[in-house]
């Protein structure tokens, strides 16, 4: 079974959403983790917009990348530039991917505008995750 780590800055939004979708599309064929260079807690809006799309991430936890030092990952995916620049070394034959998604936690405006920013990022990550499972993780 492939072991995949999704890494971003705070492990609160983008990496949590990606973990949820990779698990969803991987249908048990992937062992998926997410972590951050820091930990900010799982953002309630990320939980909400994922629930709207039928994926429950409410039991996810915000984890620091150092917690996974003993796991031999096959893939490390960074989902923001900061994580890519600060990604620690992982020993072994680890394949790396990077895609910088917009950070919905930085959205401003009223609640609906902020949620729409979360939905937009969610939809981008959903398509990226679906494509990875279908075409990369074979």
Catalytic residue among 8, 13, 30, 83: 8
Burial 10-49 (b: 16+ CB within 10 A, else e): bbbbbbbbbbbbbbbbbeeebbbbbbbbbbeebbebbbeb
Report the domain count for the chain.
1
Encode pLDDT of 6-42 as tens digits.
999 999 999 999 999 999 999 999 999 999 999 999 9
Task: Tell me whether residue 8 is one of the annotated catalytic residues.
Answer: yes
Catalytic residue among 35, 79, 80, 115: 80
Catalytic residue among 2, 87, 94, 124: 87
Q: How confident is the model at residue 138 (pLDDT cuts 50, 70, 90)?
A: confident
Encode pLDDT of 48-102 as tens digits.
999 999 999 999 999 999 999 899 999 999 999 999 998 888 878 899 999 999 9
Task: Tell me whether residue 13 is one of the annotated catalytic residues.
Answer: no
Domain coverage including residue 38 = 2-136
Whole-number pLDDT of residue 106: 96
Looking up residue 116, the CATH number of its domain turns out to be 3.40.50.2300
What's the gap between Cα 46 and its chain centre?
11
Residues in the chain: 138
Task: Tell me whether residue 87 is one of the annotated catalytic residues.
Answer: yes
Residue 38, phi-psi category: left (phi > 0), alpha (psi -120 to 50), beta (remainder): beta
Model pTM?
Answer: 0.96
- Per the CB < 8 A criterion, the answer to whether 129 and 22 are in contact is yes
Percent of the chain with pLDDT over 70: 100
């Amino acid at each position: 079974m492939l072991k995949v780590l999704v890494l971003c800055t705070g492990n609160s939004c983008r990496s949590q959403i990606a973990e949820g979708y990779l698990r969803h599309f991987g249908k048990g064929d992937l062992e998926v983790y997410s972590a951050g260079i820091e930990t900010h807690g799982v953002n309630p809006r990320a939980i909400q917009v994922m629930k709207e799309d039928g994926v429950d991430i409410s039991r996810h936890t915000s984890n620091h990348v150092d917690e996974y030092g003993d796991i031999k990952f096959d893939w490390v995916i960074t989902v923001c530039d900061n994580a890519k620049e600060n990604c620690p070394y992982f020993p072994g034959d680890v394949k790396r991917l990077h895609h910088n998604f917009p950070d919905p936690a930085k959205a401003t405006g009223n609640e609906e505008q902020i949620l729409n920013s979360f939905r937009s990022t969610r939809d981008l990550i959903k398509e990226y995750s679906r494509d990875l499972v279908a075409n990369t993780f074979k």
